[in-house]
Chains A and B, each alone.
Chain A
Amino acid sequence: MGSMERLRERRRRRRLPIAVAVGVLALVPLTLGWHWQKAGWRDMHYNYPSTPTGYSQIVNRFGQPCNANASAISMSWTAADNGVTYTFRFHKKLGGYPTAMVPDKGGKSTNLDNDVYGHIQNEHLGQYTKSGIWGYLCRYIQGTTTWSTHAWGIAVDISAAYEPQGSCTSTVNRNFAHVFRNHGWRWGLDFCDPMHFQYAFGY
């Protein structure tokens, strides 16, 4: 083998790991793209309203309790324990915007029905969302004459059968509460209501 051939061989060997690395790097986005396409879901984070603090900001951002927008969007969520599909309504500023997963429901953002729900399903946390799933209800807070955040369609109860109001610990919702928190929601465990998630602070 001549010295030129040895030189070429050495160069070829040096190029091989580079070629492999380039190939892998090129494959990563393609694989991710394929995965997202198959999953039909992407975290869009589109047009979230800023999370209000206190009654006045809630009204400024979401309108009066029980207004038509508060119940404009519906979504379904199947409980993992009993297989019941709960259909509930929520505010049009918190979802209903068309995505690969959500049809156009006339909503303004991708928050709840695409991003939060999609995250929970994509991270295989749906197994922890159990029976008793509620959204909009034009009602007061239990035992009071003060509007519940449910009356604005900015609150969701999940796993109500497992996370009773008044309990200051969580059994199942703690497994996915971070997803809500990362999308602007407050978890009711902060005030001993672990079934409850609301898109508001200071209320």
Chain B
Amino acid sequence: MKKLIVTLAALAVAASVTVGALAAIGSAATDGASMAFGPTQRPDTGAGELLVVVLGGVYGSRQEAEAANAGMSFGDVQGYYVVPVAQFQGFREQVGAPGDFALVSVFRTQEGAEAFAAAAAAFGHPATVLPTRVRSLGGVYAGLGQEASPTGVGPLTQPIPASLP
């Protein structure tokens, strides 16, 4: 009789623990405030590639560029990147304005650049697609990889013939 009571008590404790654990897992999974993100993408600088630049502005210092960028909202998605202009060969020759830092986003395809420029314009921000591709010398990440692949299956994450020197 004693054995039976002990067994039943153990079963009851085990059941309560299991139910509690399941409830905790369940509530964590459906918690409205929690945010689970997808995988982080590798920041691709496209070093050595010939890239299309969408230019949002040129500034004398990083601070000025950062301040200008902070004032350009693209809703909840990433807009321009602050980069030193020296990381792109052929950039200064195309941009009349002096300055060491620029707001840019770079692309491998003309279509990708034009789509972003159109979006920037729709947000009310300046956006100029530079007429000639520039050579990336590496440096800081400038938005590469955020464009549709011409195949239509996903993002373009590899060089294309037009971007290869």
Please give, as numbers and ranges, the residues of chain B lying within 8 Å of A188 by CB-CB distance.
Answer: 76
Q: Is the CB of A138 within 8 A of B146?
A: yes
| B140-164 Cβ-contact flags toward A at 8 Å (1 or 0) | 0100001111001111100000000
What number of residue pairs across chains A and B have CB atoms under 8 A from each other?
Answer: 111
Q: A58-B38, A203-B37 are in contact. Are A141 and B77 (CB under 8 A)?
A: yes
Q: A58-B38, A191-B35, A202-B36 are in contact. Are A142 and B74 (CB under 8 A)?
A: yes
CB of A165 to closest CB in B, whole Å: 5
User: Does B24 make an interface contact (CB < 8 A)?
Assistant: no
Looking at A6-14, A41-49, A64-72, the stretch in contact with chain B turns out to be A64-72
Please give, as numbers and ranges, the residues of chain B lying within 8 Å of A157 by CB-CB distance.
Answer: 75-76
Q: A68-B148, A140-B77, A203-B35 are in contact. Are A145 and B43 (CB under 8 A)?
A: yes
Chain B's interface: helix, strand, loop or mixed, by majority?
Answer: loop
Please give, as numbers and ranges, the residues of chain B lying within 8 Å of A164 by CB-CB distance.
Answer: 73
Q: Is the CB of B153 within 8 A of A142?
A: no
Number of interface residues of A (CB under 8 A): 39
Closest A residue by C-beta to B107: A138
State the CA gap A66–B37 with chains docked (Å).
17
> By CB atoms of chain A within 10 A, which of B38, B40, B119 has the most?
B38
The 5 A-B pairs of least Cβ separation, nearest first, read A64-B154, A68-B152, A55-B38, A139-B77, A66-B148
Question: Which residues of B pack against A, CB within 8 Å?
Answer: 29, 32-43, 73-79, 112, 115, 119, 122-123, 141, 146-149, 152-156
